[in-house]
Structure 1
Amino acid sequence: MTDTDLGHALPLPVASAELEDRLARRRSAPAQALTVPGPTQDQIARILELGARTPDHGKLFPWRFVVLGPTSRATLATALAPLAQAQPQPDKARAVLGKLTAAPVTILVVSTPVHSQKVPVWEQQLSAGAVCMNLEHAAGALGFSTSWITDWYSYDAEALALLSLTKGEQVAGFIHIGTLAEPPFERPRPDLSAKVEYRD
């Protein structure tokens, strides 16, 4: 493999107290509490650029982005409302549509696995999930709060048609981006002693 195949050399990692602090305080925002200001067009482009720097076995880039502004999300929520009636809890299904319309900007991340002899679909789906997390971190680095959600319309066949997803595609997440008027409360975190095993 040549240097051209690999691209240019990147700096080696250095300790960053700022990044450590960001990771230590990372917290999803309540989607319906996100408000203006949201990211500018240039900031959205930067968030997408940083989000795309994600582990991807095989360089398949098995995901795509749809940037949704207020108008497109209001139209989507209106179209989804009749479908909520068919959900197990119709009232709750209608209520969560408010998450779609609150934030200034939403990035829909679509998992787009491709046939590969080398890379299993599961690994491609994991890459799409990693993109969602990277988008959250990128938005946070620019001073915004985020909420990564799916909700029922990410799995309903008629809803997926409204989202223009094609066969084999899935919603990895709606990344809502905006500003919180007040900081969110901390939530319970796992007891790592029950989740970690050390081996020599």
Structure 2
Amino acid sequence: MPTPNQAALDFLLTRRSRPAKTLQAPAPSREELAPILTAAARTPDHGKLEPWRFIVIETGAMARLADLTEKHARAAGLPDEKIEKQRQQFDQGHLAVAVIEVRRETKALPAIEQTYSTGAVCLALLNAALASGWGANWLSGFPAHNRSFTEEAFGLAENESVAGYIHIATETRIPPERPRPDMESITTWLST
């Protein structure tokens, strides 16, 4: 019979992201962030390729990224209300970690496995931040998917892309629970 880690299971059964717009200073220091990043890097990684890396966005870089978001969103023809919404994550941010997928050349594994591992890093980072007592939220949107923005903002190489931004700071309130999947409708049991 396995020995359960009930505290970890209870955390996973009740975890809830905190909306980024409700997070406030302080954000974790570099020392406080180190174990969170270390926990995220323990994600399953078939082939030991490490197909991801982190860019920590501190408060001082947020205004520059907000302005760059607006610049590239205007160039892409987004309407003003969408531009304002897209720049908010940086206008209101205190600390975020950009999780960068680094697509490695390999014939041993399908490329999609690197994407799966990168997504798992995002969730592990989010959960590690929450488990450490911080509020955290995983955002993407235009600043994650617009190539000209990500190249200018972060100098990404051709084989790199942003999987998401994990915003981490002090939570101001616990959000209400939201509807969760109906397990019966999404689970199939194969017995034979």
Structure 2 residue 88 is the aligned partner of structure 1 residue 98: yes
Q: Is the alpha carbon distance of 1:14 and 1:102 closer, same or farther for their aligned partners in structure 2, counting shifts above 3 Å?
A: farther
CA distance in 1, matches of 2:87, 2:14: 28
* Per-residue CA distance 1:73-112 (angstroms, 9 max, x = gap): 2111112212222344441232231112323211100000
Q: TM-score, normalised by structure 1?
A: 0.88
Report what 2:12 is aligned to.
23
- Letter of the 1:26 counterpart: R
Deviation at 1:148, TM superposition (A): 0.4
Question: Are the equivalent residues in 2 in contact too, given 1:139–1:146 (CA < 8 A)?
Answer: yes
Question: Are the equivalent residues in 2 in contact too, given 1:87–1:93 (CA < 8 A)?
Answer: no
- Letter of the 1:51 counterpart: A
Deviation at 1:68, TM superposition (A): 0.6
Structure 2 residue 164 is the aligned partner of structure 1 residue 199: no
Richer in helix (by share): 2
Query: Among 147, 153, 165, which residue is 2:143 paired with?
Result: 153
- Matched residue SS, 1:179: strand
CA distance in 2, matches of 1:36, 1:14: 38
Q: Number of residue pairs matched?
A: 188
Richer in strand (by share): 2
Let me know the Cα RMSD of the aligned residues.
1.5
- Letter of the 2:137 counterpart: S
Structure 2 residue 162 is the aligned partner of structure 1 residue 171: yes
Structure 2 residue 26 is the aligned partner of structure 1 residue 37: yes
Deviation at 1:50, TM superposition (A): 0.7
CA distance in 1, matches of 2:161, 2:111: 12
Aligned-pair identity (%):
35
> Where does structure 2 lack aligned partners over 5 or more consecutive residues?
none
